[in-house]
Amino acid sequence: MSIDPVPASFARAAEKDCVTPLLTRDAAAHGLTPSLLRRKAYRRVFHGVHLPVDAADDTWTRAHAALALTGQGAVASFTTAARLWGAAVPEDADIHVSVATAAERRAVEGITFHVDQGLVPEHHVRGVRVTSPEHTFIDLARRLSLVDLVVVGDGLVRNGHTTPEMLRTACLASRRKGSVAARRASMYVRTGVESPMETRLRMLVILAGLPEPELQIEIRLEDGTVVYRLDMGYVAALLGFEYDGRHHAEDPEQWDHDVSRREYLDSIGWRIIVIRAADIYQHPDQTLARIVTAMKAAGAPVPALSTTWARHFPGRSS
């Protein structure tokens, strides 16, 4: 059985960061015929660009391939940029690329091109040109809901790529499309949010008109040693909110730790409300009712609830 050759000029190093896209128009220069490109050693990523068949099929690789089709001023943008920066965004099969002029725009299946005259192609993620975290946030304000955009902002901050202050400053200075929505969302971005679901829980509470929860609450012994940390809650009321993913129930060691933790917190007077995905996506009204009931039981003041939350958390009828 013959194996299609990968020419030395198209060889890649062991690290996937060194994968080099091959343009169809350059194949002949590498000694590759169209038939070789169609055989097992290569796969077409987009029309006109190929990669070795064993190259990773991820956002970074596909963005790298898409930019091989463009000029040096083009950058990965929108949801693609957000993923490259490590932020969570809704599913989007296309790779998004921004170019400075309409003349650079192309019709390529699997790539969405955007014209952006304010591009500054000086930011890179593992060698891929990308819009800055702040630029990405403002771009996404044109496409994402308020809550999804705050999820992105919290993720950019969590990964150390920006700060809430930097985001707010950029949004206030911007006059680009989407900047008004971006300014509003930036006011909700915080330091210390450790997961997208924590962002969603926090936003549900805030949009209902309840006091903003404190984040990453440290539980200390009398000598000051931190023994536990809560996702969020109200310290004065000894009331904590914790998001609990399925992996906790599926990991016996983690489950044992959580049981011991909650028993200890209970012994020192803390009430912990455990929130799961269904409590956010399907039954947000019931979740708010649980929180309000617990606040009243703790003697905490409960303001009249706003109905704003319902526009962002539609839930599902029982």
User: Rounded CA gap, 154 and 133, in Å?
Assistant: 11
pLDDT at 66 over 80: yes
Torsion-angle region of residue 44: left (phi > 0), alpha (psi -120 to 50) or beta?
beta
User: What does the pLDDT read at residue 189?
Assistant: 98
The single-letter DSSP state of residue 152 is H
For residues 81, 86, 92 and 93, what is the CA-based torsion angle, rounded to 10 degrees?
Answer: 80
pLDDT at 244 over 80: yes
User: Rounded CA gap, 12 and 219, in Å?
Assistant: 50
Structure-token pair, residue 137 = 């946030």
User: Rounded CA gap, 233 and 174, in Å?
Assistant: 34
Mean pLDDT of 248-262: 69
User: What does the pLDDT read at residue 288?
Assistant: 97
User: What does the pLDDT read at residue 119?
Assistant: 84
Domain ranges in the chain are: 8-57, 63-186, 196-312
pLDDT tier at 184, thresholds 50, 70, 90: very high
User: What does the pLDDT read at residue 40?
Assistant: 63
Instruction: Give, rounded to a whole angstrom, the gap between the first and last alpha carbons of the chain.
Output: 59
pLDDT at 253 over 80: no
User: What does the pLDDT read at residue 180?
Assistant: 96
Give yes or no for a contact between 186 and 171, defined as CB atoms under 8 angstroms apart: yes
pLDDT at 265 over 80: yes
User: Rounded CA gap, 106 and 31, in Å?
Assistant: 27
pLDDT at 243 over 80: yes
Phi/psi of residue 83, nearest 5 degrees: -65, -40
Q: What average pLDDT does the chain have?
A: 88
Q: What is the pLDDT of residues 266-283, one digit of tens each?
A: 888 999 999 999 999 999
User: Rounded CA gap, 133 and 218, in Å?
Assistant: 29
Query: Which of residues 255 and 22 earns the better pLDDT score?
Result: 22
Q: What is the pLDDT of residues 3-27, one digit of tens each?
A: 344 444 444 433 445 567 878 777 7
pLDDT tier at 53, thresholds 50, 70, 90: confident
Q: Which of 38, 124, 31 is nearest to 75 (CA)?
A: 124
Phi/psi of residue 225, nearest 5 degrees: -70, 130
Q: Is 169 exposed, middle or buried (0-12, 13-18, 19+ CB in 10 A)?
A: middle
What's the whole-model pTM score? 0.88
In this structure, which topology does domain 196-312 adopt according to CATH? Endonuclease; Chain A (3.40.960)
Q: What is the pLDDT of residues 94-147, one digit of tens each?
A: 999 999 999 999 999 999 999 998 887 789 999 999 999 999 999 999 999 999
Of 149-153, 177-181, 226-230, the range with the lowest mean pLDDT is: 226-230
User: What does the pLDDT read at residue 170?
Assistant: 97
pLDDT at 165 over 80: yes
